[in-house]
Amino acid sequence: MTNKSNSDAAWKYHEATKHSYNSIRSNAHFMDWNNQPLPFKIYPTLEPMRLPGEVRQSGVAALSAIAERVSAQTNAAPDLEAVAQMLYLSAGITRRRKYSGGEIYFRAAACTGALYEVELYLVCGELGGLEAGVYHFGPAEFGLRKLRAGDYRGALVAATGGEAAVAHTPLTIICTCTYWRNAWKYQARTYRHFGWDNGTLLANLLAVATALGLPAKVVCGFADAQVNRLLDVDTQREVAFSLVALGHVADLPPQAPAEMLPLRLETVPLSQREVDYPLMREMHAASSLDSKEEVEEWRGRTPVTHFPPPAGPIISLKPLSDAEMPRDPIEQVIQRRGSTRKFARSPITLAQVSTLLDRATRGVPADFLDPPGAQLNDLYLSVHAVEGLSPGAYVYHRSCGGLECLKQGDFRAEAGYLGLQQELPADAAVDMFFLADLRPILQRFGNRGYRTVQLEAGILGGKLYLAAYAQRLGATGLTFFDDDVTRFFSPHAEGKSAIFLVAVGHSAKNESYGRT
């Protein structure tokens, strides 16, 4: 049975990793600080090539960069400075904080637990200032280590079944995810976090690419083993999760070499010991594609999920006009972005909420979202303090740009409970819950559909982060009690699954801003 027609593993994993009131209390897991994993992948035998450190100012407003895209046919190739810009603003270290046990390195994109399990690799032809090759990005020294010399873009063309964006790109960034670095804290639920954390990073990367005038496309249809072999990663510990084609050139790359020799490069162990959570690797293996034929069968039109028409009045959203829109450039917004650790219980405006939703949901350029503008996740809101909007539970109708009230009332206490009984979702002005009907998604995309639905949620969540900080608001991503979220928004959300949660509001004054 092909991956496309089989979704048993996804359902098994999803059900097994749900949070509930009882599951949280019965879990005896604790974080072993003496065995905390290293935050970086280190190749001790390879010298890094340092990247340019100056951040160029594009002048493109963050709220424009997250909402727009460059035409896929625009001929553009990044030079070394542009490559450095994209890497720094998506996965670079933007702040350091010392504590009694050591130092935390906070990155440009939000990540669960500040554990940063996503690694970046570059596969490029000859670029201005950068030789053709396969590289690993090292955030610690802000440099590239060359793993293979030469043009290996043809290997990715073969692995993606001839995906046009990959065939005509001068640069592809491969995002891998490392099991143990996140599972040290989050155990088997980490596979969900792969999508969230890869997604928030991609939200930054896509926005910066747009600001630099580069077309970009997220690609999830690829033969996993071929990409992993190109990087020569230990697939028991690290796996390719997504690709991003950046730029466009007319010429096709040379064909892939007939044989991909292993690199056998030494890497520093992440911890003295690793705890194995087989369910994650089983899920990933079941979601993997094995051949060009399976990739071509997998790629195609996005399933149309049932979304009922409004049953009541629609509240029209009123985004800020172009004249009112904050013009803070994308580089500044990413550098000041954090994850709010405490919200003030003060209201935000309907215009701010409208701008958040409008700018963050204009579509993601991805091979699993066809036609452009298709979506897998639906947005539900728990509104607590928004001027011009009664407190209550709402659903966002993207087709008409409006909100439908599902029930009115003060649901701060309920929102706090849904967000794992934390103060953050209770204190926020609005909580945005991502829910998806997994049934048609998994029927269409098989087990790999679970990877894509989590990834899309992470990208949209990352866009909400940037849209909030562009408006001088705070935001934070949170986890939740799965089935309780669905029940809270039912009957409208009946049959859907909770995927992600982003809380938005005013950060409490004088808070020490955390960055995750």
Q: Where does 314-507 sit in CATH, by number?
A: 3.40.109.10
Return mean pLDDT, the chain.
Answer: 94
Cα separation of 106 and 93, whole Å? 6
In the structure encoding, which two tokens stand for residue 229, read together?
């072999």
Say what the pLDDT of residue 193 is: 97
Q: Is the pLDDT of residue 513 over 70?
A: no
Return the CA Rg of the chain.
Answer: 22
Q: How many angstroms separate the first and last alpha carbons of the chain?
A: 40
Q: Is the pLDDT of residue 510 over 60?
A: no
Confidence of residue 1 (pLDDT cuts 50, 70, 90): very low
Best CA proximity match to 85, nearest among 242, 210, 218: 210
Say what the pLDDT of residue 516 is: 54
Cα separation of 228 and 106, whole Å? 27
pLDDT tens per residue across span 412-425: 999 999 999 999 99
Cα separation of 323 and 321, whole Å? 5
Cα separation of 447 and 55, whole Å? 40
pLDDT tens per residue across span 336-368: 998 899 999 999 999 999 999 999 999 999 999
pLDDT tens per residue across span 37-57: 999 999 999 999 999 988 888
Could you say which DSSP state residue 429 is in? S
Across residues 471-486, what is the average pLDDT? Answer: 97
Rounded to the nearest 10 degrees, what angle do helices 179-186 and 190-211 cross at?
120
Across residues 396-424, what is the average pLDDT? Answer: 96
Q: Where does 34-297 sit in CATH, by number?
A: 3.40.109.10
Cα separation of 436 and 486, whole Å? 10
- The reply to whether 314-507 shares the fold of 34-297 is yes
Percent of the chain with pLDDT over 90: 86
Say what the pLDDT of residue 515 is: 43
Residue written as token pair 């405490």: 342
Say what the pLDDT of residue 372 is: 85
Domain ranges of the chain: 34-297, 314-507
Q: Pairing mode, if any, of strands 238-246 and 171-178?
A: antiparallel
Task: Extract the runs of DSSP E, i.e. beta strands, from 47-192.
Answer: 49-50, 93-99, 102-107, 118-124, 133-138, 143-149, 171-178
Task: Extract the runs of DSSP E, i.e. beta strands, from 139-229.
Answer: 143-149, 171-178, 216-219
- ∠ CA 342-348-350, nearest 5°, is 145
Residue written as token pair 């293979």: 148
Q: Which uninterrupted H or E stretch holds 329?
A: none
Say what the pLDDT of residue 514 is: 43
Q: Is the pLDDT of residue 511 over 80?
A: no
Q: Is the pLDDT of residue 437 over 80?
A: yes
Best CA proximity match to 422, nearest among 500, 499, 341, 351: 341
Cα separation of 396 and 400, whole Å? 9
pLDDT tens per residue across span 452-468: 999 999 999 999 999 99
Could you say which DSSP state residue 252 is in? P
Please report the DSSP string for 440-505 in residue order: HHHHHHTTHHHHHHHHHHHHHHHHHHHHHHHTT-EEEEE---HHHHHHHTTTTTTT-EEEEEEEEE
Across residues 437-458, what is the average pLDDT? Answer: 96
Confidence of residue 399 (pLDDT cuts 50, 70, 90): confident
In the structure encoding, which two tokens stand for residue 248, read together?
């466009």
pLDDT tens per residue across span 53-72: 888 889 999 999 999 999 98
Say what the pLDDT of residue 383 is: 98
27 burial type by CB count under 10 A (0-12 exposed, 13-18 middle, 19+ buried) = exposed
In the structure encoding, which two tokens stand for residue 1, read together?
């049975």
Best CA proximity match to 314, nearest among 366, 245, 389, 370: 389
Contact call for residues 61 and 330 (beta carbons, < 8 A): yes
pLDDT tens per residue across span 180-232: 999 999 999 999 999 999 999 999 999 999 999 999 999 999 999 999 999 99
Contact call for residues 110 and 337 (beta carbons, < 8 A): yes
Say what the pLDDT of residue 312 is: 85
In the structure encoding, which two tokens stand for residue 143, read together?
């440099």
Contact call for residues 146 and 45 (beta carbons, < 8 A): no
pLDDT tens per residue across span 84-104: 999 999 999 998 887 776 778
Q: Which uninterrupted H or E stretch holds 254?
A: none
Contact call for residues 11 and 451 (beta carbons, < 8 A): no
Give 491's contacts (C-beta < 8 A, 6+ positions apart).
none
Instruction: Tell me the residue length of the chain.
Output: 516
Q: Could you tell me if residue 142 is left (phi over 0), alpha (psi between -120 and 50 degrees) or otherwise beta?
A: left
Stronger pLDDT, 513 or 385, i.e. the higher one: 385
pLDDT tens per residue across span 137-194: 999 999 999 999 999 999 999 999 999 999 999 999 999 999 999 999 999 999 999 9
Cα separation of 478 and 121, whole Å? 28
Say what the pLDDT of residue 265 is: 97
Judged by DSSP in three states, 15 sits in helix
